Chain A
Amino acid sequence: MARRNMVEALNLALRQEMERDPSVVVLGQDVGVNGGVFRVTDGLHARFGGDRVLDTPLVEAGILGSALGMAIGGLKPVAEIQFDGFTFNAMGQLEGNVSRYGSRSRGRWPASLVLRFPYGGGVRALEHHSEAREALYALPGVKVVIPSGPRNARSLLVAAIRDPDPVVFLEPKRSYRAFKEEVPDEEEVGVIGRAEVVREGTDVTVVSWGAMMRPVLEAAEGMSSEASVEVVDLLTLHPMDVCTVASSVRKTGRLVVVQEGYRAFGPASEVVAAVLDEVFWDLEAPVQRVTGYDVITPYFARENLYLPDAARVQEAVRRTLHP
């Protein structure tokens, strides 16, 4: 066992998968010699060479579109887009081709690739470098995976690389170096499509994912004398593990969903709607959403005022306890 931060854990996943499977290639801007602007691909270029660790020009659509071609041609591309805000230049390829290639080719070429990028705020970055728009990738045919810590980041990236379907893999950039966990050298393969109860409780269920897991767990610990909070880490946003969330809510009768991004048409709404289908008659209180606001992602000087934090999570939990 070794203690690793998320960047090191992701790097381990990439290195081991590239060793294991010679068809795995990494491409993106500055991923080669420079090792990626966050160093996730550090050392891969030296270890595997420029043919497999490919620095691209500044072409987001080109990165994703050519990655699809590479997958058709028998490679397993892991494409990096440098920041969340730049992924939208590649959305035409994601929606128009990647998401539907398995269907279009009737199963012959299921766009077996990973699109990974850092997402979310909290690192005092420039405009377009702090977006949390994860619902926009949740298309039919695409899997959306969002780890919350080093260990599940590593095991889920391995799973994403081995998955036959296209996986959009969002890395919470403010968790990249925020903390370390034990991440074993030995292989660990996560399960895409499965949520995890990471803290058991009996009074209220709080569901979240990615960078919001830290404030959620902090909130739960901080109010332990007041309420027994169960916490579910969604891990895969799409397709969603409704079953795990519903089981928890059936037990607690209360639900809070916490998402970093703006509220309207966000994943929290989908969690609530999907779970209500299953648990409506078990609910003890109205469901609460803690989200960003329906504004353009704020610039960094004031971003902390807008990002959901432990205090807002606790307020929402209290509202479900005392409706």
Chain B
Amino acid sequence: MPAAATFTIPYLQVLDEHGRIDRKKDPGLSREEALRLYRAMVTGRELDDRRLKLQRQGRIGTFAPTTGQEAAICGPALCLSERDWMAVSFREAPAQWMRGVPLSRILLYDGGFEEGNEIPEGSRNLPLAVIVASQTLHAVGVAYAMKIRGERDSAVLTYLGDGASSQGDFFEAMNLAGVWQVPVVFVIQNNHWAISTPLSRQTRAETLAQRAVAAGIPGIRVDGNDALAMVRAVREALDRARSGGGPTVVEAVTYRMRMHTTADDPKRYRDDAEVEAWKARDPIPRLRGYLEQRGWWEASRDEALVAEIRKEIDQAVREFEAEAERLLRERPDAAFDHVYAAPPPALQAQREAFLDRVRREA
């Protein structure tokens, strides 16, 4: 039989596992951009370490670690301008930080405070979306608004995971984005595990990028532990989006080195050997290898960099804890804020009764 349709999914790798670059595919980052990317990735790793400790000490709640996925998370965020939008899921803390969200605010969210999601005026970062893939539809809607409002320099980047890529919301989002030809880039972080569900139980397809084929939009698979490949693929996709070329799916093949969240114990369902094998593909030393070859960095400077980042995190922890203490004391009724633009009388009465009770019990 003749083929009714055929497809290929391109695969992109720029840095090999030793950080050696394929010059033809070099995204051409400036020294400043490359170092910013490196710092963000190291910050993500350090933030994980600190958050794990804080969680074990009961000072924050559960959170989704980013270790091992720093290239897949930070590479795309590096490609965004202030005019662009970012719609995260919940495993993108270092990308939020790159987009101007203070570390103390990330911790405030992890600490269980609504205020951690506060969006400053002018920011184009959507708040965390815990219902996986639901944010991909919001991204498409924002992109539609950019298109018909004539904001041609604005595109939307949204992140989702391999588990989320099975959701109906994502298929609807890709389909709508294709039909409407809106400027949106879907970055699937294929970290191989949706809590305990391995990729093989998620889909029979060879790649997640080919989910794009059904929507008639381009899909590309990228070495997601290769920061430069992520930058190149996402930058091309965003450029195409901004020039009216429509949406793209970028599948970042990466690995969740730690637990799904701190509430999860991966030893119940996966072998340490698998985790060990992925350690060799750690995205941070790979980018460092490239930086060293360019003469932009020396491994000996890592210690000072890490010390500096830890100081920043220390400061953020202090700010978060002071803010948390203040909010608990001064704003017990924060959940009543912003339910409606103006509180209906019955809700206002509930708020007053609540505050009365809280004050009596205090």
Check if B346 sits within 8 Å of A242, measured CB to CB. Answer: yes
Nearest A residue to B145 via CB reads: A73
* Residues of B in contact with A, size category: 35 or more
* Residues of A in contact with B, size category: 35 or more
- Asked if B114 is an interface residue, CB under 8 A from chain A, the answer is yes
Among A62, A141, A165, A274, which residue has its beta carbon within 8 angstroms of that of B137? A62
Which residues of A sit under 8 angstroms from B176, Cβ to Cβ? Answer: 56-57, 59, 62, 66
Chain A interfacial positions (CB closer than 8 Å to B): 25, 51-52, 56-57, 59, 61-62, 64-75, 77, 92-93, 96-97, 102-110, 140-141, 143, 163-165, 193, 239-240, 242-243, 274
Query: How far is A64 from B131 in the complex, measured between Cα atoms in Å?
Result: 15
Among B169, B335, B347, which residue has its beta carbon within 8 angstroms of that of A65? B169
Check if B138 sits within 8 Å of A141, measured CB to CB. Answer: no
Residue among A59, A64, A67, A93 with most chain B CB within 10 A: A59
User: Knowing A97-B138, A106-B118 touch, does A70 contact B144 (C-beta < 8 A)?
Assistant: yes
Check if A193 sits within 8 Å of B344, measured CB to CB. Answer: yes
User: Knowing A62-B175, A239-B347 touch, does A92 contact B149 (C-beta < 8 A)?
Assistant: no
Chain B interfacial positions (CB closer than 8 Å to A): 85, 87, 114-115, 117-119, 121, 126-129, 131, 134, 137-146, 148-149, 168-169, 172-173, 175-176, 179, 335, 337-342, 344-347
Q: Is the interface of B mostly helix, strand, loop or mixed?
A: helix
Question: What are 27 A-B contacts with C-beta separation under 8 Å?
Answer: A61-B168, A62-B169, A62-B172, A65-B138, A65-B169, A66-B137, A66-B140, A67-B141, A68-B137, A69-B87, A70-B141, A73-B143, A73-B146, A75-B148, A93-B137, A97-B129, A103-B114, A103-B338, A106-B114, A106-B119, A109-B119, A141-B339, A164-B342, A239-B347, A240-B346, A243-B345, A274-B346
Which residues of B sit under 8 angstroms from A103, Cβ to Cβ? Answer: 114, 335, 337-339
Which residues of B sit under 8 angstroms from A51, Cβ to Cβ? Answer: 148
Check if A69 sits within 8 Å of B140, measured CB to CB. Answer: yes
Which residues of B sit under 8 angstroms from A164, Cβ to Cβ? Answer: 341-342
User: B217 to nearest A CB, angstroms?
Assistant: 14
Check if A65 sits within 8 Å of B137, measured CB to CB. Answer: yes
Which residues of A sit under 8 angstroms from B119, Cβ to Cβ? Answer: 105-106, 108-109
Query: How far is A38 from B44 in the complex, measured between Cα atoms in Å?
Result: 53
